[in-house]
């Protein structure tokens, strides 16, 4: 039980990577608050977590809304009496379009959720961790944060930005005994990746299979990552075993060529 007695917030916790992380943390004894905007999915995941015997809280929260984020963090602390771990996983795929065709509203919303949301969650979680003189923040970025990504400018910019935010938060939080690290998944099998492939195929006039191959060819393992692989890395970073790791970004990408 690597996280026994601890409490975590996982944003975007109702599905995909967030759900996998919440389930893995709960299996290791952690109380978990899951947040997101899809209430039905949050409740379904909460039911799974309770089935594991976990203490669970559900928060319908748009991380781009600072007042909502502040309420989310306060509610988790009130419920569990502590906050040890924050996983900034909430994110959207953003537009698939050339930069000259991106609508300003799409750009703003992608940055608001993927980057500003992570800042706001950290802003309101850190005071609780600083008082406790310990804590873990884990930011879910992407290998898109290391590369140029044609037709995906908003998403790539948000993920590059998260890596910079991650390093900065690590420097600020380190003197208080808090570690801050990022995980950069590669193409991860699931609904979100399927939507990205479909949108890209449509934009380029190619088949879904052709686009999927373009994502897999640059990897050593020639396959997509499993959500559970990312969750396992998050568990490591949240545990005492990673006490001396901070400010780093760990790729879980199947050997994607960066």
For 64-77, how does the pLDDT look when each residue is reduced to its tens digit (9 = 90+)?
999 999 999 999 99
C-alpha 224/C-alpha 252 separation (Å) is: 10
Q: How many CB atoms lie within 10 A of CB 245?
A: 14
**197 & 174 share domain:** no
Distance CA 7, CA 12 (A): 16
Are 80 and 191 contained in the same domain?
no
- Tokens representing 258? 């960066």
Q: What is the pLDDT of residue 62?
A: 98
- In sequence order, the β-bridge partners of residue 152 are 97
Is 215 an active-site residue? no
Q: Residue 205 has what pLDDT? A: 98
In a shared domain, residues 171 and 244: yes
What mean pLDDT, rounded, does the chain reach? 97
Measured between alpha carbons, how far apart are the two ends of the chain, in Å?
35
Domain count for the chain: 2
| Contact indicator for 141, 114 with CB cutoff of 8 Å | no
Per-residue confidence (pLDDT) for residue 187, from 0 to 100: 97
Give the pLDDT confidence score for residue 60 in this predicted structure: 97
Quick one: 208 and 158 in the same domain? Answer: no
Sheet with 178-185: list strands edge to edge. Answer: 56-60, 31-36, 7-11, 85-88, 135-140, 178-185, 249-252
Q: What is the pLDDT of residue 253?
A: 98
Show the domain range for 173: 7-186+226-251
Whether residue 256 lies inside any domain: the answer is no
User: Based on the domain organization, do 216 and 239 belong to the same domain?
Assistant: no
The answer on 166 and 198 residing in a single domain is: no
Residue 196 domain flag: yes
CA gap 250, 145 in Å, rounded = 12
**Size of the chain, expressed as the number of residues it contains:** 258
For residue 2, tell me if it sits in a domain.
no
DSSP 47-61: HHHHHTT--EEEEE-
Same domain? 114 vs 42: yes
Structure token pair of residue 118: 């992570």
Please identify which residue in the block is written with the tokens 């939507």: 195
| Same-domain status, 65 and 142 | yes
Which entry of 25, 80, 146, 155 is annotated as an active-site residue?
155
Confidence label for 29 from pLDDT (cuts 50, 70 and 90): very high
Adjacent-strand bridge partners of 59: 35
Within-domain flag for 193: yes
Q: Is 245 helix (H, G, I), strand (E, B) or coil?
A: coil
Residue 230 has pLDDT above 80, yes or no: yes
Residue labelled with tokens 């509610």: 75
Above pLDDT 90, what percent of the chain?
A: 99
State the pLDDT at residue 258: 77
Average pLDDT, integer, range 157-178:
98
Is residue 57 very low, low, confident or very high in pLDDT (cuts 50, 70, 90)? very high
Average pLDDT over residues 104-122: 98
Residue 88 has pLDDT above 80, yes or no: yes
Q: Given this model, what pLDDT does residue 236 score?
A: 98
By the 10 Å C-beta count (0-12 exposed, 13-18 middle, 19+ buried), 14 is classed as: buried
Per-residue pLDDT, averaged over 91-97, amounts to: 97
CATH number at residue 97: 3.40.50.720
Same domain for 198 and 141? no
Instruction: Measure the CA–CA gap between 108 and 125, rounded to whole angstroms.
Output: 24
């Amino acid at each position: 039980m690597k996280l026994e007695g601890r409490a975590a917030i996982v944003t975007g916790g109702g599905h995909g990577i967030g759900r996998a992380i919440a389930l893995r943390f709960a299996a290791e004894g952690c109380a978990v608050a899951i947040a997101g905007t899809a209430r039905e999915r949050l409740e379904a995941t909460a039911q799974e977590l309770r089935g594991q015997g976990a203490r669970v809280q559900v928060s319908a929260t748009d991380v781009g809304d600072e007042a909502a984020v502040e309420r989310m963090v306060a509610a988790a602390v009130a419920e569990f009496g502590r906050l040890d771990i924050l996983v900034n996983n909430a994110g959207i795929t953003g537009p698939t379009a050339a930069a000259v065709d991106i609508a300003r509203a799409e750009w703003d919303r992608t940055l608001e959720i993927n980057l500003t949301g992570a800042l706001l969650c950290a802003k309101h979680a850190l005071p609780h961790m600083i008082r406790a003189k310990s804590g873990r923040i884990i930011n879910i970025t992407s290998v898109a944060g290391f590369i140029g990504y044609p037709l995906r400018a908003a998403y790539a910019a948000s993920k590059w930005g998260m890596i910079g935010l991650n390093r900065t938060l690590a420097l600020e939080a380190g003197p208080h005994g808090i570690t801050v690290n990022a995980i950069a998944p590669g193409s991860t099998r699931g609904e979100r990746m399927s939507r990205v492939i479909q949108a890209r195929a449509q934009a380029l006039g190619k088949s879904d299979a052709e686009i999927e191959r373009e994502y897999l060819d640059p990897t050593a393992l020639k396959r997509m990552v499993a959500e559970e692989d990312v969750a396992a890395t998050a568990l490591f970073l949240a545990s005492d075993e990673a006490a001396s790791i901070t400010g780093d970004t760990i790729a879980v990408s199947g050997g994607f060529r960066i």
